[in-house]
Amino acid sequence: MSKSSDRSVDLAQSWISNADVWTAAVRGGGIESRRLVTDQSIVDAVLAQQPRRVLDLGCGEGWLVRALAKQGVGGVGVDGSPSLIEAAQSAGGGTFHVCTYSDLADGSRNIGNGFDVVCANFAILHEEVAALLRTLRQSLVPQGKIVIQTVHPWSVGGAYCDGWREEDFRNFEGLWQPMPWYFRTLGSWVTLLRECGYTIIDLVEPRHPIGQLPMSLLIIAESKRC
């Protein structure tokens, strides 16, 4: 097994191990960046596409599907962590499935089609995601959109190059298992989406209300005509 494969396994396992503390942090408003900026930013970006149906990729405990449901948007959420999906189902607001990215990429799981938007809120963390992104185009309506919120390039220390990083959750309450994740430069995001059949139509940089530093990067892309 390659180093990338090892880290992908560790990444998936971290969301299983951290399911309870993650759910508590999200529902308790314990993550400042989300509370102040990024939660509303992804909601606004999705609603700006005027969708009727949305697929939330890596939905976690389901908060985004519930937020969109309050605005009359039908949502389906998928996640590879059974405990997170159980938490999402118990709160309601949409349809939720245990489904890994590999399941989606190879077509072994069919979660439907006709989605106006696929959204991924800090949820594209693997290195190998091209097959997934190509498959997701089949779930979208013609010229449907993908809305990705990810870390802003300015917010990550170290060399500005693609590569695996580790989140140790040191600023979070509770006991967490460290999570490997794959960082992409802006140029890499542009290339990846273009090669997978998308055209970027907007880039948004949500900022902290006090310091005005960018808190995330939002990429809105449209599926190209076949």
Token pair 């389906």 is found at: 76
Of 149, 214, 146, 151, give the one whose Cα is nearest residue 181.
Answer: 151
Please list the pLDDT of the chain residue by residue as tens digits (226 residues).
556 678 999 999 999 999 999 999 999 998 889 999 999 999 999 999 999 999 999 999 999 999 999 999 999 999 999 999 999 999 999 999 999 999 999 988 889 999 999 999 999 999 999 999 999 999 999 999 999 999 998 888 888 999 999 999 988 888 899 999 999 999 999 999 999 999 999 999 999 888 888 999 999 999 987 6
**Closest to 147 (Cα-Cα) out of 37, 45, 76:** 45
pLDDT value of position 209: 86
pLDDT score at 226: 63
How far is Cα 46 from Cα 19, in angstroms, rounded to an integer? 25
**8 Å CB contact between 195 and 204:** no
pLDDT of residue 171: 84
| Alpha-carbon radius of gyration of the chain | 16
Give me the domain span that covers residue 47. 3-223
CATH code at position 183: 3.40.50.150
Residue 80 φ/ψ, nearest 5 degrees: -85, -5
Count how many domains the chain has. 1
How far, in Å, are 23, 120, 196 from residue 129 at the CA level? 25, 12, 10
Alpha-helical regions (H) of the chain: 3-17, 19-27, 32-33, 39-47, 63-69, 82-91, 101-106, 130-137, 186-195
Instruction: Give the pair of three-digit tokens for residue 72.
Output: 């009359």
